[in-house]
Amino acid sequence: MKSDGVCIIGMPSVQSQIYASEIIKLGHVNCKTGEYLKIFLQKFFEKVLFFTMIDEAAHTGFQPMAHFLLALCIMPK
């Protein structure tokens, strides 16, 4: 990745999996909490901007309530 590159990573939250169907769970094999994902990404990027999604709305709200996690990562280490 170039020094001015941007990485966008998204995944379902592990907390949302209790509401997922069995078929969906088969594809969601590596879900994380928001806290874990952010700490992990900070090992590789200087700046990690973190967002959560519930339904169609992206926001910086309470991570454990999120259905989807979205991270915008810049300035690779």
Do 77 and 46 form a contact (C-beta atoms < 8 A)? yes
pLDDT over 90 at 45, yes or no: yes
Q: What is the pLDDT of residue 62?
A: 66
Q: Of 70, 76, 16, whose CA–CA distance to 38 is shortest?
A: 70
Instruction: Give the residue extent of every domain in the chain.
Output: 6-76
Flag whether pLDDT at 6 surpasses 80.
yes
What is the band of 59 on the pLDDT scale with cuts at 50, 70, 90?
A: low
pLDDT band at 58 (very low <50, low <70, confident <90, very high): confident
Between 24 and 38, the more confident residue is 38
Give pLDDT, residue 35.
Answer: 87
Give the predicted TM-score (pTM) of the model. 0.74
